[in-house]
Structure 1
Amino acid sequence: MLTRLSFALIWKTALLLAIGAGGGWSALHLGLPLPWMIGGLSVSAALVLMPWRLPVLDGYSFPMGLRTLFVTLIGVMIGTQVTPDLLSLAGKLPLTMGFLFVFVLVAHAGNFAIFQWLGGYDRATAFYAGTPGGLMESIMMGEASGADIRALTTQQFLRIIVVITVLPLGLSLWLGEAVGSASGAVLPGGDVPVSLPSLALIVITGGLGLGLGRLVKLPAAQLTGPLLLAGGATVTGLVDLHLPVWLIAAAQLVIGVSLGLRFKGVTGRMLRNSLGLAVVSVVYMLAVGAAMAWVLTQLTGIAFLHLLISFAPGGVAEMSIVALSLAANPALVSLHHVARILMTVVEMSLLGRWLRP
């Protein structure tokens, strides 16, 4: 039986998602890339940043279980895109991973300078706010080192939000036309009608992958577990999964609304200062990533767009959706983002020792 608390959580979440869907619908008709994610994010952020408090937000926290569910489905989506073509890139991966490690070091060093000198943050806050990944790990290590957790958390979430907003829009402006889902592109098989048994198989695959990922302690297990399981099943021909467009849109919406609600409790002044720093930081990291992607394109022949998205410092789930929407190689992109987070966690664990009290 539903308790009064759980019923309130359900109807509030449904209402916020419905409002976010209105923003997504508007973004779709404006021709924006990732419309459901950007639209849902914008509307939910506007709700929590209003000068007056909305009753629906009193004591509300977005259910992370729902977000995890859709992240597992994103993992399945990406796994269905694993093809023998990805395996043919195995010989080039050591080079791209080497460049990625250099990217982590250069991006973190530049961000440290931006947040300390331009933002005026203390050394610990600037160090952990500037990591190009590992959001939760940076918050935990930053707290142990005496960093300003509110500023650190705000900068880390803004890093992800600015990347997933600026990158698709920037690509649209650079190419002079809409890209990915905004141009009407869909994944192979995405426009094929999906039966209830197929949908059930998708959910089961996601659940099994999540369980296996957590069992063997994979990084970002909610995404990588389903990805590996669905990828293995797809490559071997055991199953032929096609995920509908509406499911990808729903995943965008849930991720976008949950991100926008992260601004709850942030003051307007703090947001303005943090947002300006985040834009400078993200533009710097994207410029470094673009330079490395261009060099790697010359050396490996991998498409520049795929490498650029692989080096963009957003969250794993968020960047995987960007890759899916922009018709990049989602499996290649996800692999590099998981590696980026692992490299960042190791790097800040080693270098962060000099900041500990």
Structure 2
Amino acid sequence: MAHIFVTFGLICLGALTGWGASLFGLPLPYLIGPLVICALIATALPHHLPEGYAFSHRLRQVFIGVIGLMIGAQVTPELFASAPEFAVTFTALALFIGVCLVYNFWVFRILGGYDRVTAFYSSSPGGLYESLALGEAAGGNVARLTLQQFLRVIIVVTALPIGLSLWLGEPVGSAGGVTLARDDVPWTDLPFIVMAGAAGYFGGKLMRFPAAQLTGPMAAAAILSVTGIFHVDIPIWLVNIAQIVVGCALGMRFTGLSRGLILRGAGLSLLSVGGMLALAMVFAVGVVQFVEEPLDVLLISFAPGGVTEMSLVALSLQANPAFVTLHHIFRILMTVVWLMASAPWVRRNF
């Protein structure tokens, strides 16, 4: 019972922090705000938590599914008019992933001094949960893996929108008040939203989708949208709650990490993310002449950050967020393929 009260208290505190972050115009405030405050609690005040406390895994999965539905609903028939361009951008993206893995391995192994397994799985430019699971199975340092993967996402979804806002002279993404959700969704749609999410989750589990709690509902919403059966519109209040819960869950994963380790990991992540964003720009410049999308949209499509925030940034640029979303889904899937294909070799040689 104590664990339930603690979880509820963390969610309330996360909601308050998210609201405060939104007042300052920070990117993805209802995710980053709760994540930061819960990470501070997990690292600075772990002795005040009940013994053996862990944030509810099932609750987190439910609300990750909500975000999956919101993203999947952006896949429309109009998107596939750009299908010929995908051959170029997907090929470049697959090569980008390989280059990032090599570069990041050098950062974490040579500069960071991590053991080879931990360095390899920390190098993943996507597939957060899959890289953690594979890295743990291979004998990597789970605490460091968790730290580096979460910092990668946090830094990208914070730095890129801010950088683009400075470049364009106006806020973009959620910092500019843009959202993929709607505030006029009728309450009568909620049962259909729940059924779509449940069908996607269990269908994804049955078909062994990577990160099925996200990709399953995403696929279900995309199928419903493309076929015209039902367009899944997520109310903005539900999306905000989902981000608060997921942010709190991610923040509590920092339990047990020292401040010194976090600061060191942050320095390595800044170097890693900085290099990947530079590589993303190089690849975007390389393919821009072959596609109809502008350079800034291609940069967002290659950036190794969160699917939701990158889609919001694209929307604020008046670009189809589904184009960006599909490339991030492909990036995550290809990263998982790279990691799974490399796992036997890593175990034998590392």
- Cα deviation for residue 145 of structure 1 reads 4.3
> 2:171 maps to which residue?
178
Contact kept in structure 2, 1:78 and 1:324, CA below 8 Å: no
> 2:332 maps to which residue?
341
> 1:38 maps to which residue?
32
- Cα deviation for residue 75 of structure 1 reads 1.8
Aligned pair 1:154/2:147, yes or no? yes
Aligned pair 1:11/2:9, yes or no? no
> 2:211 maps to which residue?
220
- Cα deviation for residue 294 of structure 1 reads 3.1
What secondary structure is seen at the aligned counterpart in 1 of 2:253? helix
Among 252, 258, 275, the residue aligned to 1:267: 258
- Cα deviation for residue 312 of structure 1 reads 2.0
1:158-199 Cα offsets, whole Å, 9 max, x none, are 222222222222222222221123223344x7132x332211
Spell out the pairing of 1:238-317 with structure 2 (5 A cutoff): 238-314=229-305
User: Partners of 1:137 and 1:185 in 2: how far apart?
Assistant: 29
Q: TM-score, normalised by structure 2?
A: 0.90
User: Partners of 2:246 and 2:321 in 1: how far apart?
Assistant: 17
Contact kept in structure 1, 2:27 and 2:157, CA below 8 Å: no
What secondary structure is seen at the aligned counterpart in 2 of 1:88? helix
User: Partners of 1:326 and 1:62 in 2: how far apart?
Assistant: 32
Among 176, 190, 210, the residue aligned to 2:182: 190
User: Partners of 1:338 and 1:215 in 2: how far apart?
Assistant: 19
5+ residue gaps, structure 1, are 1-6
Give the partner amino acid of 1:225: G
5+ residue gaps, structure 2, are none
Contact kept in structure 1, 2:3 and 2:53, CA below 8 Å: yes
Contact kept in structure 2, 1:34 and 1:322, CA below 8 Å: no
Contact kept in structure 2, 1:115 and 1:130, CA below 8 Å: yes
1:6-38 Cα offsets, whole Å, 9 max, x none, are x33332211101111111111111111211112
1:98-137 Cα offsets, whole Å, 9 max, x none, are 0111111110110111112211223332222212223344
Shift of the 306–154 alpha-carbon distance from structure 1 to 2, 3 Å rule, reads: same
User: Partners of 1:76 and 1:244 in 2: how far apart?
Assistant: 11
Give the partner amino acid of 1:319: V
> 2:122 maps to which residue?
129
> 2:347 maps to which residue?
356
User: Partners of 2:51 and 2:320 in 1: how far apart?
Assistant: 41
User: Partners of 1:65 and 1:290 in 2: how far apart?
Assistant: 38
User: Partners of 1:149 and 1:241 in 2: how far apart?
Assistant: 36
User: Partners of 1:286 and 1:57 in 2: how far apart?
Assistant: 40
> 2:200 maps to which residue?
209
Aligned pair 1:112/2:105, yes or no? yes
